[in-house]
């Protein structure tokens, strides 16, 4: 009986650690989605711009004013240090696909999170039952 209680407690703690890891992964992926959404909005605004001044992000929340003429192509990182030149429409399509893929992954993480939550609740009920039996016995 003691072993079952200890096992339940250990499993609950392990599952809670898994939940924390999933929360971190989900937050990271959501930040990536937000980054892609910003890029998409920027490209859509560049499509409308014939000529003018833009603020060019260089990282760390710092922007450099730049003069921009009609932009027709952008460079898109495809992974493994590969960068491909694409027209704006193709770049937006690539971004949309990445966003969809990330959202699907976030959704799967959410499903896994819920399964683990359910398992924790199940183990918590079992632990309560064991403690009640021990108290009566």
pLDDT in tens, 58-86: 888 898 998 888 889 999 998 888 999 99
Contacts of 16 (CB under 8 A, 6+ apart): 120
CATH number of 2-136: 1.10.287.370
Q: What gap in Å lies between CA 24 and CA 109, rounded to an integer?
A: 10
Output the average pLDDT for the chain: 91
Percent of the chain with pLDDT strictly greater than 90? 65
Report the pLDDT value the prediction gives residue 137, as an integer from 0 to 100.
59
What confidence tier does 14 reach under pLDDT thresholds 50, 70, 90?
very high
Instruction: Give how far Cα 119 sits from Cα of 4, 11, 15, Å.
Output: 15, 9, 8
Q: What gap in Å lies between CA 71 and CA 37, rounded to an integer?
A: 19
**Pairwise pLDDT comparison (80 vs 33), residue with the higher score:** 33
Q: What gap in Å lies between CA 126 and CA 104, rounded to an integer?
A: 33
Lowest mean pLDDT among 47-51, 61-65, 126-130: 47-51
Instruction: Give how far Cα 8 sits from Cα of 17, 39, 60, 66, 119, Å.
Output: 14, 46, 45, 60, 11
Enumerate the domain spans of the chain: 2-136
Report the pLDDT value the prediction gives residue 12, as an integer from 0 to 100.
96
- Give the closest residue to 119 by CA, choosing from 22, 24, 1, 19: 19
């Amino acid at each position: 009986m003691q072993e079952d209680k200890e096992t339940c407690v250990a499993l609950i703690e392990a599952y809670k650690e898994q939940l924390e890891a999933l929360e971190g992964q989900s937050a990271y992926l959501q930040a990536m989605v937000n980054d892609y959404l910003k890029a998409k909005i920027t490209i859509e605004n560049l499509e409308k711009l014939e000529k003018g001044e833009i603020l060019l992000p260089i990282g760390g929340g710092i922007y450099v004013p730049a003069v921009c003429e009609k932009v027709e192509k952008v460079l898109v990182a495809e992974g493994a240090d590969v960068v491909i030149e694409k027209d704006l429409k193709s770049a937006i399509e690539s971004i949309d696909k990445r966003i969809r893929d990330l959202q699907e992954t976030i959704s799967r993480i959410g499903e896994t999170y819920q399964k683990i939550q359910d398992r924790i609740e199940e183990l918590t009920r079992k632990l309560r039952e064991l403690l009640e039996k021990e108290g009566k016995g």
